[in-house]
Amino acid sequence: MEVIQTDTEDKISAISPNSIHAKEKATQKIHIELRNGLKKRMDAIITKAFTLYQQMSAGVLRADWDDIVAEHCFTTGCLDEHDSPSNDQIGQDWKTLADCKRLHLLPLCDPDAGERHDHT
């Protein structure tokens, strides 16, 4: 879906927003609708992934998961690429899902669990 979305963005930007040709305007409108539909679907899939992980956790761990997701995905003030505080939220995507899962599992695992796994 990301590849299609990128391709659609390229096609949208290739047509001037001030174009007077009806065919170009119609094509651009179709691509904009496709892009918006893809964005909605991709957002729905990632939301389902976060929800599925939460539902697979035991009741006691769900509260921890909810706190981690709220803090990691929906809190402003995180550092941007220039190490300055940002006013934007990180949001939910595949990378933040992996980060949240790691943060959720860290307190449950022994600090040397990975090393012990490699030696067995």
**What does the pLDDT read at residue 88?**
77
Q: 120 with 64, same domain?
A: yes
Domain that holds residue 51: 1-56
CA pair distance 113, 17, nearest whole angstrom? 56
- Domain end: 56, 72, 90, which one? 56
**What does the pLDDT read at residue 40?**
94
Q: pLDDT tens across 57-92, in order?
A: 888 889 999 999 999 888 876 666 777 777 777 889
Question: Which among 34, 38, 13 is positioned nearest to 24, based on CA atoms?
Answer: 13
Mean pLDDT of the chain: 85
Q: Do residues 85 and 79 lie in contact, with contact meaning Cβ atoms separated by under 8 Å?
A: yes
- Domain end: 9, 27, 56, which one? 56
Q: 75 with 34, same domain?
A: no
**What does the pLDDT read at residue 117?**
65
Model pTM?
A: 0.69
Judged against a pLDDT cut of 60, whether residue 120 lies above it is answered with no
Number of domains in the chain: 2
Tell me what the mean pLDDT of segment 41-48 comes to. Answer: 94
Q: Do residues 15 and 28 lie in contact, with contact meaning Cβ atoms separated by under 8 Å?
A: yes
- Above pLDDT 90, what percent of the chain? 38
Q: 119 with 65, same domain?
A: yes
Judged against a pLDDT cut of 80, whether residue 30 lies above it is answered with yes
Judged against a pLDDT cut of 90, whether residue 52 lies above it is answered with yes
